[in-house]
Copies of this chain bind each other. A is one copy, B any other.
C-alpha cells in the first residue's frame, strides 16, 4: 500500500471518529439516570469512536494490529500496528473545553510511521506522515514548523498538570519550570500540536501510555521537533516524556531534568 493511501485513510478515520464523538461533547445530559448510573459522556464517546475506528481498520486492513485505550489489543505483533486514543484530554472534554483530541498513530515494524491528532470541534487535524507534518483546518492546510527556540530562558513550556509528577519527578519538573519564560497547564495532546505549530517550545509529562504519544511522534518530528523519554530513549512506549522544538533545547531540558 502506498503512503498516500494511508494518509487518506487516516484522515477518514479522523472524520468518522469525530462524527461519533461530537454528539457527546457539551451534552447537557449530566444527570443521574433512572438506575442511579451517572451518564458519562467521555466513556460513551470514547467507546463509540474506538468502535468506529476499529471497524474501519479491520475492514480496510484485516492483517493490521490495533492497540486502543478502550478494548483488547488485536494482532499486537502485526507489522502494521494502529495505536489509538479516541479522546485524549478527558478533563477538557468533560469541562467543554475544545483542547482534547483523537489520537491515531500507525507503527510499522515497531516504529511510529504516521500519526494524526484530530480536534473535531475546531475542525483541526494535525498530521505527520513520517516526512513532513501539517495542519488541515477551517482556514486551509499549512505545513507545521516547530520554533527555533534554543534556550530554556526563552522557552514556553506546557504540561497537563504539575501535580501529576510524583516523588523525584516533581523537583525535576520544577527545575525546568523555574528556568523557562512561561508555563501553561491543562493541555494534554494539544500541547504537542502547539509545539509542532511553533507556538510553544517544550512539553514535559509523565505517566503516558503508548496510545498517548505514538500518534504525536510523527507530528512533532515532521515539524522539526525532538521527542524522547527523560532518558533520551524512544518515546513510543510512553512513560516520562520530553518534547522540544530544537535539539539544543531538548538537550538543555534533559540536563535540567537530571539536575
What is the CB-to-nearest-CB distance from A65 to chain B, in angstroms, rounded to a whole number? 34
Instruction: Assess whether A172 is interfacial by the CB under 8 Å rule.
Output: no
Instruction: Assess whether A108 is interfacial by the CB under 8 Å rule.
Output: no
Looking at chain A's contact residues, the main secondary structure is: loop
Which residues of chain A (145-194) have a CB below 8 Å from chain B? 145, 147-148, 156, 158, 161, 182, 184-187, 190, 194
- Chain B residues lying within 8 Å of A97, measured Cβ to Cβ, are 99, 184, 187, 190, 194
- Chain B residues lying within 8 Å of A197, measured Cβ to Cβ, are 26, 96
Beta-carbon nearest neighbor of A30 in chain B: B147
B96 touches A199 (CB 8 A): yes
How many copies of the polypeptide does the oligomer hold?
Answer: 2
A29-56 toward B: CB 8 Å interface, digit per residue (1/0)? 0110000000000000000000000000
A85-119 toward B: CB 8 Å interface, digit per residue (1/0)? 00000011011111100000000000000000000
How many residues of A are in contact with the other chain, CB < 8 A?
31
- Chain B residues lying within 8 Å of A190, measured Cβ to Cβ, are 97
- Chain B residues lying within 8 Å of A200, measured Cβ to Cβ, are 95-96
A129-156 toward B: CB 8 Å interface, digit per residue (1/0)? 0000000000000000101100000001
- Chain B residues lying within 8 Å of A184, measured Cβ to Cβ, are 91-92, 95, 97, 186
Beta-carbon nearest neighbor of A119 in chain B: B98
Top 6 nearest A-B pairs (CB, nearest first) are A96-B199, A186-B186, A96-B194, A185-B186, A185-B185, A95-B184
